[in-house]
Structure 1
Amino acid sequence: MKLSKAIFIIVLVLLIDQASKIYIKLNYTLTPSNSDPIVDWGKFQLLFYENAGAAWGMEIPGDYGKLILVIFRIFAVFGIGYWLVSSIKKNGHRILIICISLIFAGALGNIIDSVFYGVIFSGSYHGAIATAFPESGGYAGLGYGHVVDMLYFPLFEGNWPEWMPVVGGDRFKFFNAIFNVADSAITIGVILLILFSKKAFPEPKKS
């Protein structure tokens, strides 16, 4: 698979990811807990949530925790990019190139939010709709932006069995995470790598 096709996949994912994030950011306020979603199609809901930390809303404590996370992500993207170019040069399997391209695009999409959104947009707080390039400046410094999430698929919910330790009897939802197109690209890339691992990582031929 040629590098040009990998670049096409990356650019396509980035365009869809950033277009969806910017549209949500500039047209809606943050979705408070227990309030109506922007769109509610049963098992598909569209919300507006901002993730200030890592995946699943986790945060690194301290004044520089966010910046450390962003720097780590940037190094990771460079590593994934090297893996992609190296795999293409070695004529890696098509499925491997597609998966790495999806993972690279997803990681880069979320880095764009973290690095630039705090500078480009005003804050989406206290019922305000954000504006782009506000005269008073953005809501955070370079590298301290929040990742925009909007996709929510609560497929089903119920109670954990009483006999289960710690969570027994508690209410749960599946899938209870709010995510975005970039997260989806990473997840799809990883799942495909696992499902087609034999094709993606063939055993070397014996001489």
Structure 2
Amino acid sequence: MFVLSETPSIANHFIAELRDIDIQKDRMRFRRNMERLGEMLAYEVSKSLTYETAQIQTPLGVSETLLLEQQPVLGTILRAGLPMYQGFVNVFDKAESAFIGAYRGKPNDDYSFDIEMQYTAMPDLEGKVLILIDPMLATGKSVIRTLTSLRTFGKPASVHLVSAIATHEGVSYVQQYFPEAKFWIGALDESLNHKYYIVPGLGDAGDLAFGEKM
């Protein structure tokens, strides 16, 4: 598991602004900070991928370099994942994309919930690198529901899970079902409250990026 904030960098400024209750009022800045965090995590993920040697013809000669052996599939959970997904597209600009409509269903009396899933737009995943972007990994239920449903589209060669904020509980829950998945996280928070929201977290990423939903 890679946690970006464990190493001091400018990324901590972006995460701090994402959390800041006053700066959050600027919806455009919230989206941009999520996008920038996505770009930084995309770069970190890129270091773990497979490369092959290529010869590049320049005006003055030939340069040998390493290029991606295979472009990944970038998947995101709508709608909250879109700004961070955009950061990944900025880096992996030749990647295929996948979109998943998954959300928390109506809460029960004890605030537990099921994950509703009503939409998928998915390329063939067989043998490919799948990067699934969900900015808030709280309980891990939406990730489990998504990865389980994606099995009908083929078995990826590897799965990378990306979140701006995650909890130990959510990570552990996903690892029970998908131990092979690799985690790339902006910051790792300690707990969930009684409504299963991350504490201290940052609130509802979808609402902060795009406005409150009915």
- Establish whether TM, by shorter chain, passes 0.5: no
- Structure number with higher strand proportion: 2
TM-score, structure 2 normalization: 0.23
Query: Computing the radius of gyration over CA atoms, which structure comes out larger, 1 or 2?
Result: 1
Relative contact order (alpha carbons < 8 A, sep ≥ 6): 1 or 2 greater? 1
TM-score, structure 1 normalization: 0.24
